[in-house]
Structures are given as structure tokens and as C-alpha cells.
Amino acid sequence: MSDEKIKIELVYALPAVQTLLKLEVPKASTIADAIRLSGILDKHPEIDLDKGRFGIFGKLSKTDTVLREKDRIEIYRPLLADPKEVRRRRAEEGKVMKKGGGEL
């Protein structure tokens, strides 16, 4: 890595707390390098560099992706529920509610 630095942002959101860090990292840094340098792994040990999912401006990216000036690294959490399953259940409940409607 060279002595030249680039400015980036790193974001991680939990249901109750959002973290946005503005960092300067060496020019040839990767996503993994920036995450390690940020210190976020100390605050959030649940972040797994090997199994986790990461992106740059909403585009899924590998941890060996080299960063560019003003990139925003996003750390994604696993989904607690499958969105398709939730929509399917909601649709089924709606069908039941619409049938028979009851008295007004």
C-alpha cells in the first residue's frame, strides 16, 4: 500500500443504532482492509469478514475489492425473515379477513 490516502465512508445499521464512519485509508486498500482499520470489528464482533455480505453504494462486493475515493462501504446483516414468505403470509391473512367480513 502506498502513503497516499483516500477518503471513504463505512456504514453499519442495526435496528436501534446506525454507525457511519468517515475514514482515510491507504490508496490500495480493500473492503476488508478498511473494515479492519475502522475498528468497527471491536464494537461489533458479530461482523464476519469471511461469511458476511458487503457492498459499495448498494452493489454487492467482495472483501478483496479495491476501494476508490469517496466509496461508501455498506455492511449488510442477515435477514431475520424471508421477505417472500412474509408477503405470502400477509396475503393469506388478507384473504381470510376479506371473506365473510362480519356484520357492520
SS3 category, 8:
strand
DSSP letter (8 states) at residue 67: P
With a CB cutoff of 8 Å and minimum separation 6, the contacts of 17 are none
pTM: 0.73
DSSP string, 58-101: TEEE-TTPBP-TT-EEEEEPPPSS-HHHHHHHHHHHHHHHHSS-
| Distance separating alpha carbons of residues 6 and 29, to the nearest angstrom | 9
Catalogue all structural domains in the chain, each as residue range(s) with its CATH number: 5-98 (3.10.20.30)
Q: Over the stretch 15-38, which tens digit does the pLDDT of each residue have?
A: 888 999 999 999 999 999 999 999
Top pLDDT among 15 and 53 is at 53
The cell for 68 is 476508490
* Length of the chain counted residue by residue: 104
